[in-house]
Amino acid sequence: DAKTTQPPSMDCAEGRAANLPCNHSTISGNEYVYWYRQIHSQGPQYIIHGLKNNETNEMASLIITEDRKSSTLILPHATLRDTAVYYCIATFGNEKLTFGTGTRLTIIP
Amino acid sequence: EAQVTQNPRYLITVTGKKLTVTCSQNMNHEYMSWYRQDPGLGLRQIYYSMNVEVTDKGDVPEGYKVSRKEKRNFPLILESPSPNQTSLYFCASGFLSGAYTDTQYFGPGTRLTVL
């Protein structure tokens, strides 16, 4: 799996869009970008994943740069319940997920 | 409801007393895995299983055993727990796409304290 780099923490005002960046400059051509989040000490929760194209689901949007060296997770209208640690992972879908320390996102009322 | 369940959710035990943490999934997933989470270290994989009777070591397997006799269950066994196994444990499962895992679904966690 390619190494990913994320800022350790971010704040976002409630109701605004939260944009979480991730750098994966060594990603290989068939590695996907996955995003998970962990609310307090609950089990990590899958959010979204993509390979090349931008993706959107009911939770978030994923924007991947054309060179695939970085991506941004967008939570369009952040709520207090989105306060969590967000993990960006670049993987083939290997049997092991390597979680780094992620970005601690705090939604400010 | 599709889910991964773990039991117990909280456990305090003493050094050397064998224990088992159960994990069960109702999604017919081939792949199952155990992780531990410690402050500042992220999630580290202990063991994983690609199917029934197929298990393999992750990054930190020492002191743990697993078995996969049925597709839905993947218990984690600590034969002789030690204080350095105090941690938050997560079980996960997922479908296999060819040789690779798809999205993983995590259980709620088991907080283990070994005195």
Q: Are strands A9-13 and A103-108 parallel, antiparallel or unpaired?
A: parallel
Nearest to B90 by CA among B74, B114, B79, B102: B74
Between CA A43 and CA B111 the distance in angstroms is 12
* Helix, coil or strand: residue B78: strand
How confident is the model over A69-90, as pLDDT tens digits?
Answer: 999 999 999 999 999 999 999 9
Which two structure tokens, joined as six digits, stand for B68?
């996969």
**For the residues B12-37, what does the mean pLDDT come to?**
96
* A105–chain B nearest CA distance, Å: 16
Which two structure tokens, joined as six digits, stand for A21?
């960046």
* A3–chain B nearest CA distance, Å: 14
Give CA angle at A65 (A62, A69), nearest 5°. Answer: 105
A32 touches chain B (CB under 8 A): no
**Would you call A95 and B4 a contact, using CB atoms and an 8 Å cutoff?**
no
Between CA A65 and CA B35 the distance in angstroms is 31
Q: What is the pLDDT of residue B99?
A: 66
How confident is the model over B57-97, as pLDDT tens digits?
Answer: 998 999 999 999 999 999 999 999 999 999 999 999 998 87
Nearest to A64 by CA among A93, A32, A26, A101: A32
